[in-house]
Amino acid sequence: MSSSLPRHSLATRTIHGSLALAVMIQLGSSLVMRHAYGDRPGNIFFPIHEYAGMIAFALALVFWLTVIARRIGTAPGALVPWFSAARRRALIADVQSYLQAARRFSLPAHDEGGAFPSAIHGLGLLLISYMALSGTVYYIMSLFGLGRAPVVHLLMELHGLFGNVVWAYLIAHAALALLHHVTRNLPLNVMWSLKS
Ligand code: HEM
Ligand code: HEM
C-alpha cells in the first residue's frame, strides 16, 4: 500500500484471521460430525464443532468490540449502514456502480471506503454472530434438558439453513479477495499480516 498507515489495525487483522480459521473448522466439522441419537453413538467431530463454535462466539464478540473501539479501519456505520439514510443512499449508489461494471463484465476499482463491500462484510459478521450465538444457546439449553424446546428447535433449524449461506459467503468473499490480489487492487497482506 502506498499509505504509511496500515488499512486495518493489528487487532482487526488478528481477530479476522482467528475468526476465519474458526469458521473453517466449523464448516469442515459440520461435514463429518455425528450427533449421538438413541443407540447410535456420536463422533469426536460433534464436540469439536460445539467447542470451536463457542470459541467462534467469543471471537465474534471481540470482533464487534474491536470495530467499535478501533481508530483505524472501516467505520462501524459502514459495516451496518441500514439505520442511516445517508449511508443507505451511498449504498444504493455503490450497488449501481457495481451493476454498471457487471454489464461490462468487469469490477469497479477497489474503493477503500466502498459502501457495498463494507455492508456485505457487516452482513457476513452478523451471519457468523447468529450461527455462533444460536449454537451456544442450544448448548446451554441442552445442559438443562431444553435442547428440544420449540424456540431452540427454531433457532437450530435456522442454524442449519444459514450454514449454507456461510459456505456461500466464505467462498465468494475469499474468491473476491484472491481476485483483488491477482489484479493488484488489494494485496492479501492488507488483511492477512501480523506485522504491527
Ligand atoms: C468466514 C470467514 C470470514 C469472515 C467472517 C470474514 C469477515 C470479514 C470482515 C467483517 C471484513 C471487514 C473488516 C473491516 O472492515 O474491519 C473482512 C475483510 C477482508 N477479508 Fe475477510 N472474512 C472471512 C474470511 C476471509 C478469507 C478466507 C479471506 C482471504 C482469502 C479474507 C480476506 C479479506 C480481505 C482481504 C479483507 C479486506 C477487505 C478490504 O480491506 O476492503 N477473509 N473480512
Ligand atoms: C461460527 C459458528 C458456527 C458455524 C459456522 C456453524 C455451522 C454449522 C453448519 C454448516 C452445520 C450443518 C448444517 C446442516 O448441514 O444441516 C451446523 C450444524 C450444527 N451445529 Fe453449528 N455452527 C457454528 C456454531 C455452533 C455452536 C456454537 C454449536 C453448539 C455449541 C453448534 C451446534 C450445531 C449442531 C447441534 C448442529 C446440527 C444441527 C442438526 O443436525 O440439525 N454450532 N453448524
Domain 10-190 classified CATH 1.20.950?
Answer: yes
Share of the chain above pLDDT 90, in %: 83
The tens digit of pLDDT for each residue in 48-104 reads: 999 999 999 999 999 999 999 999 999 999 999 999 999 999 999 999 999 999 999
Task: Specify the pTM.
Answer: 0.94
Which atom of ligand 1 is the closest one to the Cα of 110? 41
Q: How many other C-beta atoms are found inside a 10 Å radius of the C-beta of residue 187?
A: 14
In this structure, the residue with its CA closest to atom 28 of ligand 2 is 135
So where are the chain's domains?
10-190
Residue among 191, 192, 193 whose CB has most ligand 1 atoms within 8 A, to mutate: 191
- Residue numbers in the chain where pLDDT is lower than 50: 1-2
DSSP calls for the chain: --SSS-SS-HHHHHHHHHHHHHHHHHHHHHHH----BTTB---THHHHHHHHHHHHHHHHHHHHHHHHH-SSSS-HHHHSGGG-HHHHHHHHHHHHHHHHHHHTT--PPP-TT-HHHHHHHHHHHHHHHHHHHHHHHHHHHHHTT-TTSHHHHHHHHHHHHHHHHHHHHHHHHHHHHHHHHHTTSS-GGGTS----
Mean pLDDT of the chain: 94
Q: Which residues line ligand 2 (CB under 6 A)?
A: 23, 26-27, 30, 35, 49-50, 53-54, 56-57, 128, 131-132, 135-136, 138-139, 156, 159-160, 163, 166
